[in-house]
Every structure is written in C-alpha cells, then in structure tokens.
A and B are shown apart, each in its own frame.
Chain A
Amino acid sequence: MKRNLIVVAIVAVAVGLMLWTASRVSRNPQRLTSGAAGKPAPEFELKSLDGRTVRLSDYRGKAVLLNFWATWCGPCKIEMPWFEELQNKYRSQGLEVIGIAMDDAGEDTVAKFVKDMGVTYTILMGKEAVGVDYGGVLGLPTTFYIDRQGRVVDQVVGLVSHSDIEDNIKKALASGTAQASAPANSAAAEQQK
C-alpha cells in the first residue's frame, strides 16, 4: 500500500513537470498550432517596406488576407497579381492584403521584386518568430484569412486557384461582421487614405 502511494506521488510529480515544461515551450500563448480556424490570429509588429511599423491589431475591424511568401518561391509569385487585383476589388468592403516576406535576401531585393511585380499592397519584412507564432509556416505560400475580429477564418498552405482565394476572402469579409467594431483604428484608417 505504502509502495503504491510512493509510485502515485512520483507519477504525479512527473506529470506536473511535463505540463510545466509544455507550458514553458509555448513562447507565445497565442501561437497557432494545427487547425488554426476560429483561433485568434497572433499579434505581430513588423516593419513595412515603406518604413512603417505595422501591427496586426492596426487592422481590427477589417478582414485581412495575411500571406507569407518569399522571392525564391515560384508559386508565391503566381498569387501576387491575384492578391493585387482582389485587394482593389474588395478594398471598399474592408479587405486588407498584407504580404510577409520570409526572405533572407534583404530588404532591397524584396523591394525590387515587389516593384517589378507591380504589388502595391502592404509588404512587411518577416521574422522567424512570427512564422513560428503562425504555426511554423512549413511551406510557402501560406495564407491566413482573418476576420474583422482578428480570428482566423481559414489557413491555406500552397498555391490554390484564384476562385478559392476569392471564396476565402468573401468568408473573411462576412465572418465577424455583426460584432465588428465600426471604426478601424488609426493606422488602418491612415493607410486607407
């Protein structure tokens, strides 16, 4: 009986240690793992190519298409003109397209690439930590569709068709509309100008 109690105590300590370790491993409590849909999109603060500091929360009240990409990624290049077109089409309804460049090539290379591609939507220089928060971003492109409340509506890894992207944009625009706070915050409003 006494022996059993010792075993139970050891096991309880071991379980406690494991849970404590697991909680420490998660660097960001908002970090996405699998099945991101419905979860809050992790907050980030990154520099844009035009030198602004951009936070995801700046876009609260808008639907955000958050696209992780890189200059060396062929499929990413195919999507970019589509994002540009869809940004123009749905901007008035509250869509904001944001590209996060997960590139080691440097800001100048990214800026030249973006200019050559005719991209005018916001491009941010990515950091590995942001990728980790968004579930590791295992492949590029990875696109998150975020509703007006800052919740992930869908996550898509890899190139999909133009119509699939548009369908997801419509879902993001429609989701969270009822609870959406009316005015977008200052940074987003400023950008819209």
Chain B
Amino acid sequence: MKQTVILAILVLTVAGLAAGEELLTLPPARVNYVTAMPVPQVKVAAGRPVRIRLKFRVADGFHINSSKPMSDLLIPTRLSLSVPTDLSVGKITYPGGYRFVLPIAPQEKLRVYTGEFEIFALVSTTRSATPGRYKVRGELKYQACNDRACFPPKKVPVDFEVRVLRSRLSTSYRPRRNPPQSPHIHR
C-alpha cells in the first residue's frame, strides 16, 4: 500500500513537470487581457430599438487600443455581433478612450481603454418577429499592451439573451391611421 502511494506521488510529480513545461510555452492566445461582463436579459418590442450596454474589463496594468487609435498601424478595438434573422444590430457606439503616453517615450501618443469600459449597441426586431428568447453572440477584437510590451490581437466572446416581447401595436405602437375619407373623393 505504502509503495503504491509513493509511486502515485512519483507519477503525479512527473506529470506535473511535463505539464509545467508546456504551460511555460503556452501561446499568448490562452491569456485573457479583457473580460466581458455578463449582460442581463434584454427585452425588445417590435419597432422599438433598444440600446444595449456591454461592459468589459481590461486587466490591471494593461491597456487596449480604443476604437479609433491615433495611428492606422494600431489595431482598433472592434465589437461584432451576429444576431438571429428576426433581430438586427444598428449603430455600435464606442467610448472615446483615454489619452495615454508611454513613460519611456512621451512623443508616442495613444488613445486607449483601461479598467472598465462600456460599448453600446442598438438592437431591434422586425415587426413580424416571433415573441420569445433569442441568443446573440459576438466577439470583441482587441490588442493589449502594458507599459513595456504589446501582445498579439485577441478576441473575447460576447453573448446575451434578447427577449422579443409580444407585439403591443394596439397600445404602445399605433401606426398612423388613415383619416376618414372625405366624401368628395367618392363622387
């Protein structure tokens, strides 16, 4: 029994060393510099677009380029959403970001996001949308740096649920009704 335990420890040690060696060479793709916060369920009524707030958090000590970085060579932050056919995504609004200067090179001016930031997306439904729950999926593409190094572009998945409400045309949305016809046109 004692022998078995010692051997088990030996095996685990060897396995741990092998795994550790591989962890040291993990590709940067496995590191997350930005996390997407959960989005509460969104309710959308036909014909009434809803502005959805998507919150993200950049890890401490890092920054990512804003949606409009100050050089064409820099990789901008971009949100893309893919929606079911009954939904559509309108304008996506990004924050302006902060001006940032590398301490070692004050001449290099950047516009970045740090800490928490929010992106707004306009989501609407078609009038014929079937009421119910729909899943919206997407991704935020970003490129992170810290004060001394930059890291390859990455994507963080985004998903949230949209609940399409039953059409309330009779109360909330009332299309303009034709006025009563003037009798003279029927003459």
- A interface residues, Cβ below 8 angstroms from B: 4, 7-8, 11, 14-15, 18-19, 21-22, 25, 31, 33-34, 70-78, 102, 105, 109, 113, 132, 135-136, 138-142, 157-161
Contact = CB atoms under 8 A, between A and B. Distances in A.
Interface of B: 3-4, 7-8, 10-11, 14-15, 18, 21-22, 24-28, 31, 73-75, 102, 104-105, 108, 110, 143, 145-153
Nearest to B150: A73
Contacts of B150: 70, 72-76, 139-140
Contacts of B18: 18-19, 21-22
Nearest to A11: B7
The secondary-structure label for the interface of chain B is mixed
B27 A136 contact: yes
A108 to B, nearest CB: 13
Contact of A34 (B15, B24, B28): B24
A74 B102 contact: yes
B3 A161 contact: no
Given A4-B4, A159-B104, 17 more contacts: A7-B7, A14-B11, A18-B11, A33-B24, A70-B150, A74-B105, A74-B110, A75-B148, A78-B104, A78-B105, A109-B73, A136-B27, A139-B151, A142-B149, A158-B146, A158-B149, A161-B104
